[in-house]
Amino acid sequence: MGTWRNGSGILTVGTGAGTQEVPLRIAASYGARARGLLGTDGVDGALLITPCGSVHTFRMRFAIDVAYLDREFGVLAVRTMKPGRLGLPRLRARHVVEAEAGAMAEWGLRPGARVRVSATGGDGPDGPSVDGGPGRG
């Protein structure tokens, strides 16, 4: 697996007619991962934090949905966290996606699903697109 860089991209949730494309900000450096959504009043789309296995919402101004993803971009768990909470570490998690509370339910993001990340600014691992679909090995 290559190295992620800070930038922007598209998060694709679902398949077929039910596909949702969500604007994505990628936080891969130590500073960007530590900052996350702190100091913001909301998020347009989602934030991918990589690598990451757990998150907190201390000093956050709003509730967030958190999806824990494995190396193959499979969704391990989805939780809604209020400000001032500490999430449990997920040992198999490699990436975390954060969005405003309620957004992931609207997108149909559930445990067991797979997502696709396409980097549009900065570089994803091994090129500009990473497919979390079934053909990946």
Residue that the structure tokens 């900065």 belong to: 122
Instruction: Give the CA count within 13 Å in the CB-facing half-sphere of 57.
Output: 22
pLDDT for 2: 59
**What's the pLDDT at 133?**
41
- Please report, rounded to a whole number, the percentage of residues in the chain having pLDDT higher than 90: 64
Residue 124 pLDDT exceeds 80: no
Distances from the Cα of 11 to the Cα of 41, 83, 87, angstroms: 21, 24, 22
pLDDT number for residue 52: 93
Q: Give the model's confidence band at 94: pLDDT under 50 very low, under 70 low, under 90 confident, else very high.
A: very high
